[in-house]
Amino acid sequence: MKQKRAYKERFYPTPEQETLLAQSFGCGRFVYNNTLRFRTDAYYKDGKSISHSEVEKRLVSLKKEFPFLVDVSSVILQQTLRDQQEAFKNFWAGRAKYPKFKKRHSRQSMRLTKAAFSMKNSQLFIAKSKEPLNIRWSRPLASEPSSITISKDLAGRYFVSMLCEFDAKPMPVSNKTVGIDLGLTDLFITSDGNKSGNPRHTRRYEQKLAYLQRQLAKKQKGSNNRAKARLKVARVHAKIADCRMDATHKASRTLINENQVVCVESLNVKGMIKNPKLARHIADANWGEFVRQLKYKSEWADRTVVEIDRFFPSSKRCSCCGFVHESLPLSIREWYCPECNTIHDRDINAAKNIRTAGLAGLACGATGTGVAA
Ligand SMILES: [Zn+2]
């Protein structure tokens, strides 16, 4: 079965490429923000919503008005408008907030379609640059990419993400099914009693980060030293994000390799992240990303991820006899079932219930990968 996946690699631009990329990011951002301003004004002043084709036509006149836009590949400008259209679609469908303006001091990115890049002898060339990108390949590509995204993070690192088709091979069928309870003390707890532990990446780097942030606060606004200090802070943040992503990938890979069916509770992570006390730990645990990885890895391997409704009383129900405990404060980690005399570890019991509910949902044929129960 053909599937799509992104191969993300780091690259090191030549000084000329660095200038070209800075210019391209800047022009893309300019067109995006200018158009967003135009659309917002039209909507709030005249109650008009502007269509994508109108916006595309407007790009032609923008280029005449601002000749510097001609110096970069026009694909970048068209793609940024397409991204904006997607952002608006998500907003109208109630899936996202109103599109935001792009900032100079955040992560920069641009998308290129086939018209603006080419592969020759396993080397990647982009429009308006004669030299190939100096990519540190970590693995070969499965096919020629259909589109690429070039980004620069806050730590000043350049990445290219290449979207390729590949032949997904189903894994041999496994007879194991697992239920997973997502937690804070542990990233996840499985129904067979495994507790993952939570690598608290932030805590490891907390002192260093605090020191660097104090240094940054002392620097004068707009000075070179401030820019240097900001970069140092960004590097530690990048390190934390890398560690977190690595741990999440390893965990999701193991679960999909070992189990035919993985049952998880669907969590309203966004809602929980509003609680400021929990927010940092939740961001640390990377739950949303963890479930996303489980889903796409299961699709590739022809395995199943079942999501259970989050209001399902997984902690309070006895996984042996079905007795439901009336109240069970979060502080109680172990409890005793008066009906069947079982002593439950709170989280393992929850994971067992999630497994049962997931399998029940599957038996009804109503759920499967990516579908909420
Ligand atoms: Zn019981």
**Dist CA 114 CA 125 (whole Å):** 11
What does the pLDDT read at residue 12? 98
Ligand 1 centre from 322 Cα, in Å? 6
Active-site residue among 284, 299, 307, 347? Answer: 347
Domain boundaries, the chain: 2-167, 177-372
Q: What digits encode the pLDDT tens for the residues 179-200?
A: 998 877 777 889 998 888 766 7
Has 309 been annotated as catalytic? no
Clarify whether 165 is annotated catalytic.
Answer: no
181 is catalytic: yes
pLDDT for the residue 368: 54
> Out of 181, 284, 299, 307, which one is annotated catalytic?
181
CA of 265 from ligand 1 middle (Å) equals 21
pLDDT of residue 116: 95
> Which pLDDT score, from 0 to 100, does residue 370 have?
42
List the chain pLDDT tens, one digit each, 373 residues: 889 999 999 999 999 999 999 999 999 999 999 999 999 999 899 888 899 999 999 999 999 999 999 999 999 999 999 999 999 999 999 888 999 999 998 999 999 999 999 999 889 999 999 999 999 999 999 999 999 999 999 999 999 999 999 998 899 999 999 999 887 777 788 999 888 876 677 777 888 999 999 999 999 999 999 999 999 999 999 998 888 888 889 999 999 999 999 998 876 655 565 666 666 666 667 788 899 999 999 999 999 999 887 667 778 889 999 888 888 787 888 999 989 999 999 889 989 998 998 888 888 765 555 443 3
DSSP secondary structure, 149-211, as one string: EEEE-TTS-EEEEEEEEEEPPPPPP---EEEEEE-SSSSEEETTS-B-----HHHHHHHHHHH
Distance 327 CA to ligand 1 centre (A): 15
CA distance 216 to 230: 6
> What whole-number distance in Å separates Cα of residue 249 and Cα of residue 87?
27
Q: Output the CA 323–ligand 1 centroid distance in Å.
A: 5
Q: Give the C-alpha separation, 337 to 133, whole Å.
A: 63
Query: Cα(326) to centroid of ligand 1, in Å?
Result: 13
Active-site option among 86, 131, 265, 345 = 265
Residue 287 CA to ligand 1 center (angstroms) comes to 29
300-349 confidence digits (pLDDT tens) = 999 999 988 766 777 888 999 988 888 878 788 899 998 999 999 988 99
Instruction: Name the residues around ion ligand 1, CB cutoff 5 A.
Output: 318, 320-321, 323, 337, 339-340
Q: What's the rounded Cα separation, in Å, for the pair 109 and 76?
A: 10
